[in-house]
Structure 1
Amino acid sequence: MSDAVIDILQGRTRDLGGGEIVRRVLPVAHRLMVGPFIFFDHMGPWNLAPGRGVDVRPHPHIGLSTVTYLFEGRIDHRDSLGSVQTIVPGDVNWMTAGRGIAHSERSPADERAAGPQVHGIQSWVALPEADEECEPAFIHYPGATLPRSAGDGVRLCVIAGEAYGLRSPVATHSPTFYVEAHLAAGARLTLPTQYSERALYVVDGSVSAAGQSFTEGMLPVFAAGAEVEIVADRDTHLMLLGGEPLGARTVWWNFVSSRPERIEQAKADWLAQRFAAVPGETEFIPLPER
C-alpha cells in the first residue's frame, strides 16, 4: 500500500431478505467514518419479480442525515413529518433525523406491478455534536438542481459540497463532499484536496490511483493532502466522498450519537413507541434484540 492510500475497504455482501443484496462498505470495526460518512450501502442492481418490491417498513433514526441517491428505479419515501416523496435517478433525498424521525421506503405501485429495477447508494452522514438534537427535517433536491460538468471523457455531478469548481445546493451541517463520476476508458480525474478525509467507491469498472488498481465494490481511503490522480482502466462509474472528521461516534442499528447514553434512550423510545408515527403506515421494524 502506498503512502497516499491509508486504508482499503471492501464492500461486504448483506442479504436484506428476498434476495435483495447490498454491499455494505461503512461502518467497519476499524473505521467507522470517512469525513462525516458513517454508513454506505451499495444497493443492487436488483431486478425484482412482478408483484414484488422494496418494502422497508417504518424505522427510526437519530443523530444523522440519510442520503438516498438512485442510479435506476424509483422509491417512495414517507416519514413522521408527513413528507411523501418519490425519488428518481439523479435526485437527492436528504433527511435529517436530529433528535428523532421515523420513515419508510417502498416501491411505487406501478413499478411493483411490472417488477422493480433498483440500483443506488444509501448513505448516512453523522451530525456535528451541536446539531445532533436539531429538529428533524426532510428536503428533496430534483436532479435538475444539481451542478454537472462534462469533458475529456469525464462526467461529474456534485451531490453535496463543493468540488471541481461546482457547488451543490444541498445543505449540509459540516464540510462534506459527495460526487458521482463517470470516466471513459483512459480518462483522468484528480481527487479534491481541500478536504481532510477522502475516498472513492467503485460502483462499476476499474481505476488506477496511487500506483494501485481498484475494482467494483472497493473503497480506498486517501491520506490528507496527497495528490491523487485517478485513471480509468475501462469505462467506470465512481462515487467520491469525504469531508472533515467529526470526532468519536457510537453507532447501533439506525442510531448515531456522540453520547452512548443517548443511544440507550433512543432504544427505549422506539421500544415504547414514543417516536412519532409515519402517517399512512401500520407496520414498523421492531427493535433488534442485539
Structure 2
Amino acid sequence: MSGASDKDPVFGDAASSDAVELVVVPRTADIGGFLVRRALPTAKRRMIGPFIFLDQMGPGDFPSGEGLDVRPHPHIGLATVTYLFDGEIIHRDSTGVEAAVRPGDVNWMTAGRGIAHSERSSEAFRHSANDRRLSGLQTWVALPKTHEEVAPRFHHHDGASLPEIEAGGAKVRLIIGEAWGENSPVETFSDTIYAELVLQPGSSVPIDPAHVERGLYLFEGEIEIAGDVFEAGRLLVLRPGDPITVRARSASRLLLVGGAPMDGPRHIWWNFVSSSKERIDQAKAEWKAGRFDKVFGDESEFIPLPE
C-alpha cells in the first residue's frame, strides 16, 4: 500500500500505479429505445463507499412529443442523486416538492423512512424543435444505520454552486464531498466523494487515496492509468490506498464515486435499501397497501409492486 499524503494532489502530479482492482462492464437495457447501463450493484461488487446503485441514462434522443415517464414509485433507506449532462427531468415527490434538474445541477432526495417520487420530461422538452436528448447518471447512496429512518426531504443544488477546478485541459466539478482543496455544499450523512472529470486529449488529473473506496465510471472517451487503457462504458474499482493519475487519450468524461465503507452490509430489493430484510418486507407491504403518501401533482399513476 502506498503512503497517502495529507495534502490535496495538484493537477500534473505524475504519481500513478496499477491500482485498478476490478473492471465492471455494465448491464444494458433498452427502455423504449432509451438505453440504460447499470454498473452497480453487480455480483462482484455491491457497493463503492455508500454508492449502492449507479445507472447511466442515455445518451438518447426522444421522438417529438415523447420523453421520460417514470411513474410514481417508492424508496426507503437511501438518497437518490440525479446528475445530468443533457436534457431536463422534472422531479415530483410526496413531500410536496416539484423541481427541475438540468445539466450541472444536483437533485439529492433523502428517502429515509419512506418517500414516493416521479421523474418525467416537461412538455417544453417533449415538444422542443431540436433538443430532446437526455443523458446523465442516477446514483443511490445508502444511508448509515443511524439515519435510515430519517424524515424524507429533498434538496436541489444549482450547478453554479458547485466548485470547479481547471488546469491544463482538465476540468473537475466537485459534486459531493471534499477533494482538490475544495468542498461541495451538498450535505451528506457519511464520508462521500462524487466528482465529474472532463479531460481534453493528453490532459491528466490526480485521484487522491484519502477516500478508502473509489470508483471511476467512464462515460465517454478513452483513458490511461499506469499504461493500461480503458474505454467508455466501464466502472473501474480502484485499489484502496493507491494514488493514481488518469490521463486522457481522447476527449473524455468520467465520474469519481466513493467514500468510507458502509457500517455493515445492505439489502436491496427493487427500490428499497436497508440493513434489515424485515424492514424491506414492511416497505413492500406498505406500498402494496397504498400507505405511502401520494406524489404531489402526479397522483393518478403509480408503479405496482413487482410480483
TM-score band, normalised by the shorter chain?
over 0.9
- Tell me the matched-pair count: 287
Q: CA deviation at 1:24?
A: 0.6
State whether structure 2 residue 286 is matched by structure 1 residue 269: yes
1:3 deviates by 5.7
Unmatched runs of 5 consecutive residues or more in structure 2: 1-16
Match for 1:68: what amino acid?
A: T
* Deviation digits for residues 168-187 of structure 1 (CA, Å, limit 9, x no counterpart): 00000000000001111111
**What is the alpha-carbon distance in structure 1 between the residues aligned to residue 195 and residue 74 of structure 2?**
27
Cα deviation for residue 211 of structure 1 reads 3.4
| Paired amino acid for 2:112 | G
Query: What is the identity, as a one-letter code, of the residue corresponding to 1:182?
Result: V
Residue 146 of structure 2 corresponds to 130
Aligned to 1:11: 26
Using the alignment, how far apart are the partners of 2:149 and 2:226 within structure 1? Answer: 40
Distance in 2 (CA, whole Å) between partners of 1:272 and 1:165 is 49
For 1:238-249, what aligned pairs fall within 5 Å after superposition?
238-246=254-262, 247-249=264-266
Q: For residue 83 of structure 1, report the CA deviation from its aligned partner.
A: 0.3
TM-score of the pair, normalised by structure 1: 0.97
Alignment of 1:1-290 (within 5 A): 4-16=19-31, 18-114=32-128, 116-246=132-262, 247-281=264-298, 282-289=300-307
Aligned AA (2:302): F
Residue type at the aligned position of 1:215 = E
Deviation (angstroms), 1:30: 2.2
Gaps in structure 1 of 5+ consecutive residues: none
> 1: distance between equivalents of 2:266 and 2:273?
7
* Cα contact 1:5–1:210 (8 A) shared by 2: no
SS at 1:287 equivalent: coil
**Cα distance between partner residues in 1 of 2:152 and 2:255:** 27
- Residues 139-160 of structure 1: per-residue CA shift (max 9 Å, x gap): 0000111001111111010000
> Deviating runs (4+, > 3 A) in structure 1?
none
Distance in 2, Cα, partners of 1:168 & 1:50 = 37
1:52-111 C-alpha deviation (Å, 9 max, x unpaired): 110000000000000000001011000000000011100000000000000000001111
In structure 1, the residue corresponding to 2:279 is in which secondary structure?
A: helix
Quick one: distance in 1 between partners of 2:273 and 2:267?
Answer: 6
* Cα distance in 2 for residues equivalent to 1:89 and 1:130: 32
Contact kept, 8 Å, 2:18 with 2:225, in 1: the verdict is no
Contact persistence 1:107–1:116 (CA under 8 A):
no
CA deviations on 1:100-150 (whole Å, 9 max, x unpaired) are: 000000001111112621010011000001000011010000011100111
* Alignment-mate amino acid for residue 284 of structure 1: F
TM norm structure 2: 0.92
> What CA distance in whole angstroms lies between the structure 2 residues aligned with 1:179 and 1:227?
16
Q: RMSD between aligned alpha carbons?
A: 1.1
SS of 1:264's partner is helix
Higher RCO, 1 vs 2 (CA within 8 Å, ≥6 residues apart): 2
State how far apart, in whole Å, the 1-side matches of 2:170 and 2:69 are. Answer: 35
